[in-house]
Amino acid sequence: MAHAGGKVILFGEHAVVYGVPAIAAGIDRGATAVARHDAAAVLLVGETRCERGDGSDLGRAFDALLGALGADQISVDVQVQLPLGCGLGGSAAIAVATARAVLELIAPSEAGEDAARRRRVLDAATAWEQVFHGNPSGIDAAAAASGGCIWYEREHGPSALAVGCPLDLAIGVAGPPASTKEMVDSVARLKARRPEIVDKALQGIRALVRNARLCIESADVIGLGRLLDLNQMLLSGLHVSSEEIERACRLAREAGALGAKLTGAGGGGAVIALTAGDADAVLAAWQAQGIQGFAARVEATVGTQTGAPT
Ligand code: PMV
């Protein structure tokens, strides 16, 4: 059985598509997959079934993933522990868990996942993600494949980020998800129409991502919370927020969160709130207003050097 976690983008979504660095963190909830040799190549994700290359998006993605791994007649059963399509990296977690399960079957390794094997998993997951997102920055697949907290640049890929103290997050699903591709396209349209607005927002996000990195490394959670709020303001300026997202962020702050923002593509979907060590008050405030959520902790790293390859 193979597992891959989901992810939250702490800072820099959308801007990362234009080369601005972003910061993401893996979360435990994700997907587990089991692979077996089979006459057909069937992928079962919960109740959803497809066959390799059957013309459905899932079938095409499965075909791309198996092709990237050089695998043939293999069926995979996947169980998902995350709400899908909400910006929590469910699709990338499925891809990474599936790729790991397939490799376990066709190339069992006693040594675990070394750098070369991680590269194969990431390439296969990227091939899968391209079917759904067209032009993904790659941050989802990178976060699912590495876990931990990562600094991600489209051109250079991921590197590990040292985390000075645990980050306790409340993660809520603020509203129905929007399509990542549509949200990315809408920012591209805004950039074509009003480049001055988008370029200013991108500059602002670049500056706050740099500061967020310093806060994460130096365990400044108060500063980090403020930067989350600022990033949310800039994302609203890109028109990727929604009433539901703003409401969920407001509820979180009123319940004592240090900061809150959407995570992922926006337009609906998930929000994250940074808490001062206990996510329960935020989760209760959300629950009282019909917003489902769960707690996630980004663990502090001991002895990790920022910049070490993941
Ligand atoms: O797939 P999501 O919802 O986690 O969003 C991905 C983040 C974006 O920056 C909006 C798109 C991308 O490819 O990086």
Q: Which atom of ligand 1 is nearest to the CA of 240?
A: 10
- Residues whose CB falls within 8 Å of the CB of residue 167, separated by 6 or more in sequence, listed in order: 25, 216, 221, 224, 274, 297, 298
Q: Return the pLDDT at 307.
A: 61
For a pocket test of ligand 1, which of 27, 139, 231 has the largest count of ligand atoms closer than 8 A to its C-beta? Answer: 139
pLDDT tier for residue 290 given thresholds of 50, 70 and 90: very high
Distance of CA 59 to the CA centre of its chain: 22
Query: What average pLDDT does the segment 200-204 reach?
Result: 98
Q: Extract the tokens encoding 57.
A: 């998006």
Reported as a single tens digit per residue, the pLDDT across 255-286 is 999 999 999 999 999 999 999 998 999 999 99
Reported as a single tens digit per residue, the pLDDT across 207-232 is 999 999 999 999 999 999 999 999 99
Mean pLDDT of the chain: 93
Distance of CA 268 to the CA centre of its chain: 15
Q: Which atom of ligand 1 is nearest to the CA of 92?
A: 1
Q: Extract the tokens encoding 297.
A: 């902790």
For a pocket test of ligand 1, which of 16, 151, 186, 205 has the largest count of ligand atoms closer than 8 A to its C-beta? Answer: 16
Q: Out of 57-66, 123-132, 246-255, which region has the weakest mean confidence (pLDDT)?
A: 123-132
Reported as a single tens digit per residue, the pLDDT across 9-29 is 999 999 999 999 999 999 989
DSSP characters over 227-240: HHHHHHHHHHHTT-
Reported as a single tens digit per residue, the pLDDT across 149-167 is 999 999 999 999 999 999 9
Using a 10 angstrom Cβ sphere, with 0-12 exposed, 13-18 middle and 19 or more buried, the burial of residue 177 is buried
Residue 35 Cα to ligand 1 midpoint, Å, equals 28
- Residues whose CB falls within 8 Å of the CB of residue 70, separated by 6 or more in sequence, listed in order: none
Query: What average pLDDT does the segment 241-251 reach?
Result: 97
Query: For 134-168, where are the alpha helices, taking DSSP H only?
Result: 139-146
Strand partners for 259: 274
d(CA 123, CA 228): 31
Mark whether 57 is an active-site residue. no
Q: Return the pLDDT at 245.
A: 97
H/E segment holding residue 260: strand 259-262
Q: Which of 114, 140, 168, 185 is catalytic?
A: 140
Residue 40 Cα to ligand 1 midpoint, Å, equals 32
d(CA 239, CA 190): 9
Using a 10 angstrom Cβ sphere, with 0-12 exposed, 13-18 middle and 19 or more buried, the burial of residue 18 is middle
Q: Extract the tokens encoding 266.
A: 């926006």
Q: Which atom of ligand 1 is nearest to the CA of 139?
A: 14
Reported as a single tens digit per residue, the pLDDT across 45-80 is 999 999 998 999 999 999 999 999 999 999 999 999
Closest residue (by CA) to atom 6 of ligand 1? 264
